[in-house]
Amino acid sequence: MDNSRRGFITKAAVTGAAILSAPAVFGSGKFSASQKPSDATVPFKLKYAPGIGMFNHHSGNDIIDSIKFCYDMGFRAMFDNGFMGRAAEDQMRIANEMHRLGMELGPFIVYGEFDKPSLVLNKPEIREMLVNKMKEGVEVAKRTGAKWALMVPGRYDERLHMDFQTANCIDNLRYCCDVVEPSGLTLVLEPLNAHIDHPGLFLSGMPQAYAICRGVNRSACKINEDIYHQQITEGNLIPNMEAAWSEIGSIHCGDTPGRKEPTTGEINYKNIFKFIYSKNYQGVICMEHGMSKSGKEGEARVIEAYRECDSFEV
């Protein structure tokens, strides 16, 4: 065992013991009768994925220590939206450590446009730009073994009928799939809410995303179901997930209002996670949200919240 790993285990043991001994955290009595405080470090039923650096008050700022801490807390996945923008050596450090621990890396952003129309346009320069972006994403996937790449298709065009925009989006995604499909990389399209966070974006709802994926009709084009966004946009979460399940490739979560950890808002995440588990979902659930409290207390509360919601009966 190398000195860095030995030092990390010592630190993790101390911080883990501090978390578990805090009566306001894992010993709060909110678990089912079959659970014990020591359950806090066993693997979760689902692959909840903290962002790299999410628990820095406990793990420190090193990206490898961040991964190790999450593993020791029972998480078996991580995500990093900005993974594609990291230096190649850091990408490899992350990928190698996660592979060593048997952890899954969630989607990285390969293309996200928020300021102007892009995929909704039938223009050669748009297709050329997209193909080049996809080639960059494929190189990251080949280097690291990443499986999913997230896309935000840009804004809608006020001068063009929505049906034409939909057809153009489908065509452009087929060009993207031509590039990524041979590598095994899957694109996941994320519908985002227009009411609070992202007014003016083309892709906003699950039925819309489902129709586009069925139109593209390629195994490399799926949906990223963001439960936070879709509760705001349309609600009816479990029936909509059921209807779109064949096209869902990855999942994000966060509660609303506030976009903090589960248990802080109106979404019954215990039931949502139970449904996802019942579908034999093998992918990741990215914890793309903030914390209701700051510092170590906030980080511990996030872990506790996931333990509460993961305590559904199977």
Position 70 scores a pLDDT of 97
Residue 207 tokens read as 């039925």
pLDDT in tens, 217-244: 999 999 999 999 999 999 999 999 999 9
Structure letter (DSSP) for residue 201: B
Distance (Å, rounded) from C-alpha 3 to C-alpha 16?
19
Nearest by Cα to 53 from 87, 96, 83, 11: 83
**Mean of per-residue pLDDT scores for the chain:** 90
Residue 186, CB-side half-sphere exposure with 13 Å CA sphere: 21
pLDDT in tens, 6-59: 343 344 444 444 444 333 334 333 333 343 334 567 999 999 999 999 999 999
**Global pTM?**
0.88
Q: Where are the domains of the chain?
A: 3-309
User: Is 128 one of the catalytic residues?
Assistant: no
User: Is 266 one of the catalytic residues?
Assistant: no
CATH fold of 3-309 reads TIM Barrel (3.20.20)
- Mean local confidence (pLDDT), 191-214: 97
Distances (CA, A) of 172 to 130, 134, 177, 190: 8, 12, 9, 16
Catalytic residue, candidates 97, 190, 261, 304:
190
Distances (CA, A) of 251 to 36, 178, 306: 28, 24, 15
Structure letter (DSSP) for residue 281: -
Position 20 scores a pLDDT of 43
Distance (Å, rounded) from C-alpha 252 to C-alpha 254?
7
Predicted confidence (pLDDT) at residue 88 exceeds the cutoff of 60: yes
Catalytic residue, candidates 288, 299, 304, 308:
288
Nearest by Cα to 230 from 214, 243, 246, 217: 243
Find the Cα–Cα–Cα–Cα dihedral 12, 18, 23, 27, rounded to 10°: 20
pLDDT in tens, 208-223: 999 999 999 999 999 9
Q: Quick check: 256 and 297 in contact, CB under 8 A?
A: no
